[in-house]
Amino acid sequence: MERHIRTASPNARAVHSAARHLDSAEDLIGERERETVRRHAAELTRLDGLPRGYVHGDFQERNWLFDTGPGSLAVVDLERARPHAVVFDIVRLACGPWVGRPDLRAAFFEGYGRELAHKEERSLRCLAALDAVSAISWGVPHHDPETVARGRATLARRERGDAA
């Protein structure tokens, strides 16, 4: 089974990981939230064929170094780097600093050189729901209220059908 997981598509691995996080979340989230995660996981399995690249895996502000020179950005904490759908690295941005800040999202995509394709937008919403349950299941036992709050807010947005 473990070998199969390693050779599965990145989306299949993300869904498997979400199932593990749902198990570990036990009483931390309600049945409605669990169903939201399951629904998004099921949709993600139908979204293969996304543009792929080498992703950081934990692309968020705490891993950025800004003093590397004008117009430069360096990143640290690369132990999660791997081949994956490129939209994967956008999840933490969409669920964190971009919430309520369409100007930041627009600036990012201007520098990125393109907007997300429709299938990537759908994938982003699905990955956000999976990331939310991961944040809650990790944040509670690690006493990280900021991570838990991000996860809960993301799940609430996904339940309403709002952006990631």
Specify the amino acid at residue 61: E
Judge whether 10 and 39 are in contact, CB under 8 Å.
no
Which residues on neighbouring strands pair with residue 53, listed in sequence order?
Answer: 84
Given this model, what pLDDT does residue 4 score? 40
Query: Per-residue pLDDT averaged across 40-44, rounded?
Result: 89
The answer, as to whether pTM is greater than 0.85, is no
Query: Per-residue pLDDT averaged across 17-22, rounded?
Result: 73
Q: Residue 57's domain is classified under what CATH number?
A: 3.90.1200.10
Cα 35 from chain centre:
18
- Calpha distance 22→34 (Å, rounded): 7
Containing structural domain, residue 45: 2-160
CA-angle at 154, arms to 153 and 156, nearest 5°: 65
Judge whether 139 and 145 are in contact, CB under 8 Å.
yes
- Calpha distance 140→47 (Å, rounded): 30
Given this model, what pLDDT does residue 3 score? 43
Query: Per-residue pLDDT averaged across 118-123, rounded?
Result: 94
pLDDT over 50 at 143, yes or no: yes
Indicate the number of domains in the chain.
1
* Contacts for 82 with CB less than 8 Å, ≥ 6 apart: 54, 55, 57
Query: Per-residue pLDDT averaged across 28-49, rounded?
Result: 87
pLDDT over 90 at 145, yes or no: yes
